[in-house]
Amino acid sequence: MTDRMNKWWGWALRGLAVAALIGLLCFPPQTIVTVGPFRQVTTANPKMGVHTRLTDEVEEWKIKRTLEMVREMGAPWIVEYFPWAYYEPQPRVYDWSHADTVVKHARAQGLTVVARLGLVPKWARPKDSSDLFLDESQYGAFGDFVAAFVSHFKGQVDHVVIWNEPNLSLEWGMRPVDPAGYVKLLRVAYEHAKAANPEVQVLAGALAPTLAPEGNEWGMDDLIFLKRMYEAGAAPYFDILAIHSYGWKYPYDDVPSPDKVNFRRAELVRQVMVEHGDGAKPCLITEGGWNDHPRWTKSVRPAQRIQNTLGAYDLARKDWPWCLGVALWAFRYPWPARTYQDYYTFVSTDFVPKALYLEAQRYARGDLAGVSVAGQGRGYAGPAAQ
């Protein structure tokens, strides 16, 4: 074989190798993802939880890995968003495929799923309206979706949250907030849910912590909104109250006050329930936490975020018997937000655990060296000594 032919074959083989590599990159082999092995969460604090963001996660292996990491951190509770618009694109035409994937992997990891329901499909709202606009004439259609969801996931998902932050205009379809209107929606959803499965637990509220007064165009103080809900007859139509509890720049144990948004504001929300004779019902924090963006005005330092997060988990464990769990925002995003939102997460988009994750994992494994019993007897005093 001549030198020229040797060179030709060499270049040909290199070309084939490059083509094969490009093919693998552009058209990777199908990843086969199995469910299981079935596991249970091992934790020193059964109230630990996170709000996952798998709604727009496409690849099944990423869904599985996310939920594996939740279990490995030691958090038994997850809150996940199941948008009505995604799963009922046409009236009474349901596509549960993505929801099934999330739920089956969550259950395989031993996690309790709290399903947040909302987001209006185009067919159920006026043209060019917000996808969170739901006219009262369509409350029944939403109720039908709730019933279908509860029926489909009977024995798999036992907790459903009805809507999200209805005390904000943005979440109420860019309309003035309406506590009585929300109670009407809650009643329809509750009755449909219980008809489909009497054992399902219906969560109301999920109110945004805000100090906006009545009549404000953007929202209403969550304490006032909850009082107006009770005045509108909400009590018979929910089993658990969902609470959003963010700390902003305040420590986890900062004293609650009606004129302040801090983590222990949840205690004031609870007090409204007690004042209205509803103290026998439990609560569940479905959003909350701290942010450690270096420049956001409401953020804290990373070490403070760790201290506050673990302190909050421990506060609920020791001092809040009425609180079933604390699902903090947010475990991981499918892709970077490239805003301050990225600094809420426990794990990066490519599954690299942050320091917060590792410290929470140590805490859940019973390494309580950093948990203080001094003073008020509550909370986490910081990362344990190495």
* DSSP codes, 306-374: HHHHHHHHHHHHHH-TTEEEEEEE-S--SS---SGGGGG-SB-TT-PBPHHHHHHHHHHTT--TTB--S
For residue 370, name the pLDDT band (cuts at 50, 70, 90): low
Asked whether the beta carbons of 226 and 272 are under 8 A apart, the reply is yes
Distance between CA 356 and CA 191 in Å, rounded?
A: 40
Distance between CA 343 and CA 353 in Å, rounded?
A: 13
For residue 174, name the pLDDT band (cuts at 50, 70, 90): very high
Lowest mean pLDDT among 9-13, 59-63, 278-282, 347-351: 9-13
H-assigned helices in 56-162: 60-73, 84-87, 97-108, 139-152
Say if residue 24's pLDDT is above 80: no
Say if residue 20's pLDDT is above 50: no
Distance between CA 268 and CA 142 in Å, rounded?
A: 31
**pTM summary value:** 0.89
For residue 36, name the pLDDT band (cuts at 50, 70, 90): confident
Single-letter code of the amino acid located at 124: A
Say if residue 132's pLDDT is above 90: yes
Q: What is the pLDDT of residues 272-284, one digit of tens each?
A: 999 999 999 999 9
Peptide bond between residue 336 and the one before it cis (omega within 30 degrees of 0): no
For residue 11, name the pLDDT band (cuts at 50, 70, 90): low
Query: How confident is the model at residue 369, as a pLDDT?
Result: 56
For residue 241, name the pLDDT band (cuts at 50, 70, 90): very high
Q: What is the pLDDT of residues 67-104, one digit of tens each?
A: 999 999 999 999 999 999 999 999 999 999 999 999 99
Give how far Cα 286 sits from Cα of 133, 205, 242, 332, Å.
Answer: 22, 10, 6, 15
H-assigned helices in the chain: 3-26, 60-73, 84-87, 97-108, 139-152, 179-196, 222-231, 265-275, 302-319, 355-364
Query: Taking all residues of the chain, what is their mean pLDDT, rounded to a whole number?
Result: 91
Q: Which long-range contacts (CB under 8 A, 24 or more apart) does 14-22 make?
A: none
Query: How confident is the model at residue 375, as a pLDDT?
Result: 30
Percentage of residues in the chain having pLDDT higher than 90: 86
Distance between CA 20 and CA 310 in Å, rounded?
A: 49
**Domains along the chain?**
39-364 (3.20.20.80)
Asked whether the beta carbons of 238 and 185 are under 8 A apart, the reply is no
Asked whether the beta carbons of 285 and 325 are under 8 A apart, the reply is yes
- How many alpha carbons lie under 13 Å from residue 275 in its C-beta half-sphere? 14
pLDDT average, residue stretch 333-346: 97
Neighbours of 381 (CB within 10 A): 16
